[in-house]
Structure 1
Amino acid sequence: MSLEMEYDCPECDSSQFWKTAYMEIHLGKKTKWRCSDCGYGFIRINGDISTADA
């Protein structure tokens, strides 16, 4: 899995996010992402569940 990804930040105009944490949980792979410009972050589980959509 890559350490960076392209995602449109809802807080600023950046689209560069960095992986800040990763772990296996009972639901699958939990990954924390953080915007490189403003620090906005979200969590994605298995690529399907995301706190960014909440």
Structure 2
Amino acid sequence: MSLEMQHDCPECGSEQTFWRSASTNLHLGEKTKWRCSECDFGLVRIDGDIDSASA
């Protein structure tokens, strides 16, 4: 998996580069934590399907 991804940041209001800050395996799949490189906003994705930024 990549160490960076492009994603819409709700704090910055535009698409930003997010850096993977942590990951672990759960019964639901791989949980990854991402941080915005501009404002340090954090989001969590589980197996690429569940995204805390859209919650």
Instruction: Give the AA of the match of 1:5.
Output: M
Runs ≥4 in structure 1, deviation > 6 angstroms? none
Q: Unaligned 5+ residue runs, structure 2?
A: none
Task: Describe the SS at the equivalent of 1:52.
Answer: helix
Contact kept? 1:14, 1:35, Cα under 8 Å: no
Tell me if 1:43 matches 2:44. Answer: yes
Shift of 1:14: 5.2
1 or 2, which has the higher strand percentage? 2
Task: Describe the SS at the equivalent of 2:8.
Answer: coil
Q: Unaligned 5+ residue runs, structure 1?
A: none
Tell me if 1:20 matches 2:15. Answer: no
Task: Describe the SS at the equivalent of 1:8.
Answer: strand
Counterparts of 2:15 and 2:41, CA distance in 1 = 10
RMSD of aligned Cα (Å): 1.0
Shift of 1:50: 1.0
Q: Could you list the per-position Cα deviations for residues 9-53 of structure 1 after superposition, in whole angstroms to 9, with x for gaps in the alignment?
A: 110145110000011011110000000110101100010011111
